[in-house]
Amino acid sequence: MNKERSIQQTTLLVFIVLLLFFGTIFITASSIITRHSTKELQKRASETALNNVSTYMDASMKNYNYASRLIMVNERVVHFLRANLADKSMAYEARMGIYEITNMYSSISHIDSVYVFRIDGDYANTGKGEYYVDFDNEEKERILSERGRAILAVNCNGMLLKKDDTPMLTLSRAIYDISSQELIGILVININTEAFSEMLSLQQAAGMCLLDTQGNYLCGDFELKRLYTDAFNSTEITSEESKFNGTRTTISGYSPISPLVIMCAGTRVAKALPSETSMALLMIITAFLISILFLIWFISRNIANPIYKLDEAMERTKSSGWLKRIDEQMPNNEIGRLAESYNGMIDYLNELFNRLIEEEKNNQKAEMRVLQEQIKPHFLYNTLETISYLAVQENAEEAHSALETLGSFYRNFLSKGDREIPLRRELKITQDYLALQKLRYGDTFTDEYDLDERTMDCVVPKLILQPLVENSIYHGVRPKGEQGIIRITTKMEEDGIVIKVYDSGVGMTREQIESALTPDKEDSKSMISGFGLHGTINRIRYYCDGDDVVKITSEPGEFTEFEIYIPKMKEVREGI
């Protein structure tokens, strides 16, 4: 299934395909039924037509036969036949006799002419038009061989041929003398084939025609003659599919009476399928269509729309950035359960998140506790006080003082973890540090201070002086081996303060100074280990945001002086 298609669209598509499928089936089926029944109907109609014509022909032939008998026994005809050869007047009499009879039938028959031959070939005739007469034709023998029975032929198989080529149906028979039973002549009745054309045209057929067994046209639809085949010479009705007047149709034909063949082209049937059946089929299709529409509506209302709503609600939840429940009213079905499951999942997730956050908070608290314990060594302070008390009890005043200084140093050194402190406090740290160091190293150095009171409340980065002083002791004064001076000077300037740390120690070489002043590329590393000389300089540069805030002047063997320039920061008062 295409992912981009919605359920609604897919359903619609499926139903359209189904509809097309059923429509095609319907049309095909109905057309098959129609064609089949059309053929049947055509065939039946054709048969009826053929039978009608055949019956009519039978009846006609009976009439003609009857007429022939009357002519045969007509006194004047018999007289002519019994007479001698050259008695012309008798022929006239005979003709009159024939007329008597033919006139009787004139209303019902289409007798074109009647010929009565004597055995010697003389003949009397009635009728219109002229004929070629060929008495000694093979047909004469055939007629005679029938010994008085009437036979049908076309143009008497050549014995009589109308001069205008109009085909004639001939009824011939031998005439025997009633008393002597001797053959006295032959009677030929020429029947105009038009006799049947009216009957042919009366039939409900696309076309009908009358032929002889050779396929010669007698009357009716001339076009149909071209479709003649030998198959139609059978006495049973034969049907063939063929194109007639531009339409495919059934051509039926047979030969009810030798030598005649009747052909019939199937009629066009207006309604092959009963209208009720079509109607019913149409109704089924309509009902199907309506149910599809209903189904689409149903799916859209009960499945697609709730899913859209659910999707929208989820989307809103997503875009809001919070894990919110879906408050949308959902139908109480599978989709409702889906929404419920989603809400359940959201609740669970929220719970998990809350638990996670809680745990994280607890972890942070725990970590904070650890850090606090490291930053605020309560134990250290209390122990220092306890030892101080012991010192006081023993009257060890120096020990008490030293412990007090140590306590003060650590309190300021560790206090709060501030990054910036007032210079007064920074100085206090340094002084405490120097006091403690003096306890260790005795008279190795003296510390001097030249302080500008205005600078005391200025804020400076924490622990910038102590490391410099430490450096002065260990790399300046002590290596020199004689008593030295460490002097801290502060001075207020227009937009900052200048702090100098001077020591009368061994001094620094140019290379040492350059090395100390080279900015450290790996800042983060130096920040961590930033309490040596190099690190401290980097730290001051970082806080003051400039490379030229630290200067070192030195004369090897004489002195070293660090000069720090700190731009003015906010002033704070010590304490609370």
Residues that bind another protein in the complex, under the rule CB under 8 A: 376, 378, 381-382, 384-386, 388-390, 392-393, 400, 403-404, 407-408, 410-411, 415-416, 575-576
Nearest approach in angstroms of CB 565 to another protein is: 30
Which residue, 442 or 575, has its beta carbon nearer to another protein?
A: 575
Which residue, 404 or 457, has its beta carbon nearer to another protein?
A: 404
Q: Enter the tokens of residue 211.
A: 């032929």
How many residues would you count in the chain? 576
Nearest approach in angstroms of CB 369 to another protein is: 13
Which residue, 230 or 574, has its beta carbon nearer to another protein?
A: 574
Q: How far apart, in whole angstroms, are the C-alpha atoms of residue 407 and residue 423?
A: 19
Contact (CB, 8 A) for 137 and 159: yes
Nearest approach in angstroms of CB 416 to another protein is: 6
Element (H, E) at 89: helix 88-105
Place of tokens 């009826």: 48
Residue type, 368: M
Which residue, 41 or 402, has its beta carbon nearer to another protein?
A: 402
β-bridge mates for residue 124, sequence order = 116
CA of residue 40 relative to chain centroid, distance: 45
CA of residue 124 relative to chain centroid, distance: 93
Which residue, 149 or 361, has its beta carbon nearer to another protein?
A: 361
Residue 44: strand, helix, or coil: helix
DSSP 393-461: HTT-HHHHHHHHHHHHHHHHHHSTT-SEEEHHHHHHHHHHHHHHHHHHHGGGEEEEEE--GGGTTBEEE
Element (H, E) at 343: helix 334-375
Contact (CB, 8 A) for 414 and 375: yes
**E-strand spans in 48-162?**
111-118, 123-127, 131-133, 151-154, 160-162
Summary count for the chain: helices (H), strands (E): 17, 19
Nearest approach in angstroms of CB 384 to another protein is: 5
Nearest approach in angstroms of CB 375 to another protein is: 9
Q: Which of 289, 280, 237, 283 is nearest to 33 (CA)?
A: 280
Nearest approach in angstroms of CB 556 to another protein is: 40
Nearest approach in angstroms of CB 550 to another protein is: 30
Nearest approach in angstroms of CB 386 to another protein is: 4
What backbone phi and psi angles, to 5 degrees, belong to 279? Answer: -60, -45
Which residue, 163 or 378, has its beta carbon nearer to another protein?
A: 378
Which residue, 231 or 439, has its beta carbon nearer to another protein?
A: 439
Q: Which of 273, 270, 256, 230 is nearest to 30 (CA)?
A: 273
Place of tokens 């023998």: 141
Nearest approach in angstroms of CB 531 to another protein is: 21
Nearest approach in angstroms of CB 576 to another protein is: 6
Which residue, 200 or 434, has its beta carbon nearer to another protein?
A: 434
Which residue, 61 or 414, has its beta carbon nearer to another protein?
A: 414
Q: How far apart, in whole angstroms, are the C-alpha atoms of residue 253 and residue 176?
A: 37
Which residue, 145 or 372, has its beta carbon nearer to another protein?
A: 372
Nearest approach in angstroms of CB 575 to another protein is: 8
Give me the sign of the Cα torsion angle 450, 453, 455, 459: positive
Which residue, 110 or 428, has its beta carbon nearer to another protein?
A: 428
